[in-house]
Every structure is written in C-alpha cells, then in structure tokens.
Amino acid sequence: MNATWREDPALRDVLAAAETCWINPQMKSFAAVADGLPVKPEEVDDAADRLDRFAPLLRRLFPETEGDCGRIESPLRELPVLREKLSWRERVPAGRLFLKLDSELAVAGSVKARGGIYEVLKHTEELALEAGLLRPDGEYADLAGQRDFFAKYTVQVGSTGNLGLSIGIMAAALGYRVVVHMSADARQWKKDLLRQKGVDVREYDGDYGKAVEQGRALSDADPMSYFVDDEHSKNLFLGYAVAARRLAEQLAAQNVTVDDGHPLFVTVPCGVGGAPGGVAYGLKLLYGDNVHVFFAEPVQCPCMLLGLATGEKDGVCVQDAGLTGVTEADGLAVARPSKLVCDVMEHTLSGEFTVADGQLYDDLRALNAAEKLFIEPSACAAFAGYRGLAQFPAAQSYLKARGLAGKMENASHILWATGGRLVPPLMRKEYLAKRL
Ligand SMILES: *Cc1c(COP(=O)(O)O)cnc(C)c1O
C-alpha cells in the first residue's frame, strides 16, 4: 500500500484522533460526474415505485404506518430553541437549523428502516413473482398471508445493531427465518429485542467486518438463504436514496428555498457509508451543487474519511491509521468503508467532520433539554457538522472558496438524526446522564 498519506497535513488531526474537518479536494460539480457514477437516477425512481407498491402490505403488517398510508417516513423538525442556546455558548453558522427525524421512523426506529426494509421487500417481490404468488399488478397486501411460503427461506445480515433490527423485524413479520450476525459493538437491548421477535441472533467477538464475513459465508452455503450485504449492496443504497425526494416536499412546506443564493448543508452520521451515501446521492439528484453534504464519523473510527482521503477506498481500515475503531457510537463502529459508496462519494462529498465520543452525549443532552427530543448517541454525530462549519478554518475556507460566506444568512442546515425511537426507557436515562 502506498502510505504517503501518513504525511498528508490534512490528515494530521485524523491520525491523532482529534476532532477535525476534512474537505474533499476531489469534489467536483455534480453535473460533471453524475453520468459516471455506479448508480442511476432511474434506479432511485424504481426503488420509490417499489416502496409505493408495497405500502398496502406495510400498512397491513405494521399498523403504526397507517397514518402515513404504509409509507415509512419521518418529520423534518426545525430546532429554534437549541439553535439559540448553542449560539450563546459557541460559534454556530448563520441560517435555519433542522433535524431530520429518521430517529422516529416506523418499524425499525432508525435510518435502516429505509434501506433495510427496502431490500427485504425487493427480495420478497422477486421470490413471490417467481413462485406465482403475486402478479405484477396484484394485491401486495395479500403477501401478509404467505408465512408458510416465506418460512422456507432464510434472510441473513451482519450488523452493528440497527441494520439487524430493520432486516430482522421486517423479514420476521413476513415469516422468513432470520439470522442476524452481530458484531461485538452491538448493544444488548438490540439483541434482546430481535430475539423476542424470534430472530436467531449470533454474536461474534470481532468487529463488524467479521460479523459480515461470517454471515456471508454461512448464507452463501445455503441455496435457500439470502444475504443482505451492507458492504456492497446497491439495494440498500437505493432504499436510502428515496429519502431525498420526500425531504424536498418537507422543505418546500417549511418555506425553505434551495438554490444558488440559498445553500443547503446536510450532515449525516456515517458507518459503512450506505445510509449517508444513499441520502447524499438522492439529495444531489435534486439540488446538485446547491446542497453541500458532509459525513460525520467518530474520531477513532473515520473509515470513510480515510477511504476517500487516501484514495484507497475499502483498501484501508482505521487500524491502518493507528486508530482503535472503538467508539460509543455503535452504529458508526465500522472500520472499513463500502467500496460502492466510496465510488459514489469520491467527487460528490463536500467533506467530513469527526467527533469525540464525549461530545455525542453532550449534544444528546442539549437536544433533549432544548427540544424534548431523544436520539441515540450515533445520531448525535451530525452536530459535529453544524458547529464544525462555523469553527474549523478548513470549513470556513470551503465556504469562502465557493462564494458561500456571504450567503449564510439564507442557508439551511439539516442534521440527519439516524436513530433513537426503539431505545428502551432505562437506556435513555443512562445515555442522558452519561458524561465522558
Ligand atoms: C447504520 C447507522 C448509521 C450509518 O449508516 P451506514 O450505512 O452504516 O453508514 C448512522 N447512524 C445510525 C444510528 C445507524 O444505525
């Protein structure tokens, strides 16, 4: 491996596990790179249509989706009180502040409800069409009564927790046999919840990559088993990408303009990259260069940052950089990024912010006190993008170089809250009291 990146001054703080802002030197105009990307806009349309076809089934299986007619969607909430409180204490960027509450998503309580559920549904559609259980224009809701059919099939996934919850809950509801391979970082309550749903949860001592590897091998050996491959799955990616078009309606409803004079800044917590990558791609399709997407990762686990900054993509892991990969942000505890997502983000990501674990809990508490909202620690990484934009010289240079510094009064900031609803009351208390 070419290791001259170790001398790169832009990576000095990353290697020292200090909070930092990394601006992507390879970022290009979206119009110039869109055609060369390994995903196409039509594929996102196709995913959105498929989710619409399945809405009646979701409505039948999960009454909580009734209000949204079987759509799994989350609100966009403005945070005026928190914005004001933060601005008393520290420098924050001008513009309105919003939280995208994927933490409240139905069924799985995290952003994984988008990608994970989508992939299970896509697999289900293929099986059902092939077996003649379903006609293309047929009643998707009737699949709720085919448990005996789906029980012959297994769905497996490797997970740090939330992907397992999403795949496990959805697949078990249809009647599949489900095996979730959990990494050592996975929280106990997530394993307990899955076992209650009848899911076979296997635990591994190793990290996330190990859990995925084991799951993939076991699934590949079984012709009746389907493996949801978080490290390579385009289906997961497409499920996440659908988020953007629904967000566009919500922004319009809150009188948020996104154009050349009104920049939109979005920060999404990143693990292997699928969720933030899909969201980012969907947003770029809608808003092009007027949306500036940043990812946020823990200081000890910035795998996507390293993959992109070194150009090694999935050829580098955080341990190669002398980092531990250990973090309180269980959903982000992934040591090696997805190659697919690196390929998509190489020229489309604006940059990254890293965050120390202690900051996650401080922001969790501040959000709860100001807005009465609860999100899980991993989701709090998004706050690093908000304060970071105003506080890091590299971020300030990014704004100046693009002529954005004078437009910030018209800017909007969206922090993507990636999970939280299913956190049990006792764990919430513990998180809210935690200081590192
Ligand atoms: C999975 C997850 C992420 C990141 O998604 P990736 O696809 O792994 O990058 C962020 N936050 C939470 C809470 C998650 O569960």
Q: Whose C-alpha lies nearest to ligand 1, atom 14?
A: 331
| Measured distance CA(342)–CA(366) in Å, rounded | 33
Residue 125 Cβ inside 6 Å of ligand 1? The answer reads no
Mean pLDDT of the chain: 96
pLDDT in tens, 72-96: 999 999 999 999 999 999 999 999 9
Residue 162 Cβ inside 6 Å of ligand 1? The answer reads yes
Contacts of 421 (CB under 8 A, 6+ apart): 103, 104, 105, 109, 110
Contacts of 44 (CB under 8 A, 6+ apart): 238, 241, 242, 245, 281, 282, 285
CA 242 – ligand 1 centroid, Å: 16
CA 348 – ligand 1 centroid, Å: 19
Instruction: Select the more confidently predicted residue: 44 or 161.
Output: 44
Is the pLDDT at 1 greater than 80, yes or no? no
CA 353 – ligand 1 centroid, Å: 15
| Measured distance CA(199)–CA(182) in Å, rounded | 12
Cα dihedral: 165, 168, 169, 173 (round 10): 180
Is the pLDDT at 332 greater than 80, yes or no? yes
pTM of the full structure: 0.97
Long-range Cβ contacts of 33-40 (<8 Å, 24+ apart): 33/347, 33/348, 34/284, 34/285, 37/281, 37/343, 37/344, 37/348, 38/234, 38/340, 38/343, 38/344, 39/234, 39/237, 39/238, 39/241, 39/281, 39/344
Q: Whose C-alpha lies nearest to ligand 1, atom 15?
A: 331
Least confident of 89-98, 184-193, 282-291, 337-346: 184-193
Is the pLDDT at 211 greater than 90, yes or no? no
CA 186 – ligand 1 centroid, Å: 12
Residue 379 Cβ inside 6 Å of ligand 1? The answer reads yes
Instruction: List domains and CATH numbers for the chain.
Output: 4-108+235-433 (3.40.50.1100), 112-233 (3.40.50.1100)
Residue 205 has a pLDDT of 87
| Measured distance CA(395)–CA(92) in Å, rounded | 12
Residue 418 Cβ inside 6 Å of ligand 1? The answer reads yes
Tell me the average pLDDT across 164-185: 94
Closest to 73 (Cα-Cα) out of 46, 91, 100, 54: 100
| Measured distance CA(429)–CA(189) in Å, rounded | 14
Residue 347 Cβ inside 6 Å of ligand 1? The answer reads no
Closest to 155 (Cα-Cα) out of 224, 240, 235: 224
pLDDT in tens, 238-278: 999 999 988 999 999 999 999 999 999 999 999 999 999 99
pLDDT in tens, 136-174: 999 999 999 999 999 999 999 999 899 999 999 999 999
Q: Whose C-alpha lies nearest to ligand 1, atom 1?
A: 331
Is the pLDDT at 2 greater than 70, yes or no? no
Tell me the average pLDDT across 408-413: 98
3-state secondary structure of 229: coil
CA 397 – ligand 1 centroid, Å: 28
Residue 175 has a pLDDT of 97
Residue 115 Cβ inside 6 Å of ligand 1? The answer reads no
